[in-house]
Amino acid sequence: MTEITAHHGLFKDTDLHVDDTGGPGRPVVLIHGWPLSGASWSQQVPALAEAGYRVVTYDRRGFGRSDKTRTGYDYDTLTEDLHALLEALDLNDVTLVGFSMGGGEVARYFTKYGTERLRSVVFAAAVPPYMTQGEDNPDGPLTKEQAAQMEAALKADEDSFYDGFITDFFSVDGVLKVSEAQRQEALALTEQADKKAALKAMEAFGTTDFRDDLTKVSVPALVLHGDGDGTVPFEGSGARTHAAIPGSRLHVIAGGPHGINVSHAEEFNRVLLEFLAS
């Protein structure tokens, strides 16, 4: 299957590109980060499939090979897309793995749909609980000034912005932690991102408050984060998510940038597989 219809609109359906290894194994759904696509999980899919899991990746609306819709980049709609995928493929006993922006769909899923289809969840370098720093969220890792600068830079020059963003994505203290070929592979995925979608999705992951959603997480949860993440800093995100979910497991990858699923793929996969097997 290459696509599912996530939403039936008045004038047009919204189709999402899906890659599914199939088979009888327990399903693991991998939800990608901004501004990439399901192809960003290339280091995880073979390892999970070899271990016997049914692995599903998909491209978020507006990104990759999915439809570039004018609207629908709020987390309620994006989570509806995720639920539509689970329903269309009739997936149950699912582990959701949300990377970066994808952690938001994982958190919001509990509020909108509960736990009926879920077995466990993983927050990998994920944006919850709440990125925007403010009076009621002093530990938020993203200032309003930083968000405004990102928006302005993306509007001004997409190519230049993405080149710098992807470099930072894979760097710790200015040192690139992946090969140049791997950086270029990720950079190529940004070329499939619709500019309007990228701007709206950036606003969504920066300004959505998931603190109440995290209180509803009642299945086994793993928080996986790099201690050198400069894009979604651990102290303001992963550490707080771990604290907010009683009984959650935490694994911090030493020297890990934001893109730990590529830079530290072997450790990432080992920890993920251990969690899935538990």
Could you give the residue numbers annotated as active site?
Answer: 100, 229, 258
Distance, CA of 241 to CA of 175 (rounded, Å): 27
For 268, residues 6+ apart whose C-beta sits below 8 A from its C-beta are 43, 44, 124, 224, 253, 260, 261
Distance, CA of 9 to CA of 65 (rounded, Å): 19
**Distance of alpha carbon 273 from its chain centroid, rounded?**
18
Distance, CA of 206 to CA of 127 (rounded, Å): 8
Quote the tokens at residue 252.
């911090």
Helix axes of 180-190 and 158-169: crossing angle, nearest 10 degrees: 140
Reference 149, options 196, 226, 206, 234; nearest CA is 206
At residue 151's C-alpha, the angle toward residues 149 and 155, to 5°, is 115
For 64, residues 6+ apart whose C-beta sits below 8 A from its C-beta are 17, 32, 36, 37, 38, 39, 189, 192, 193
Tally Cβ neighbours within 10 Å of residue 66.
25
Pairing of strands 171-172, 3-8: unpaired
Pairing of strands 13-20, 54-58: antiparallel
- What is the DSSP annotation of 138-158? TT-SB-HHHHHHHHHHHHH-H
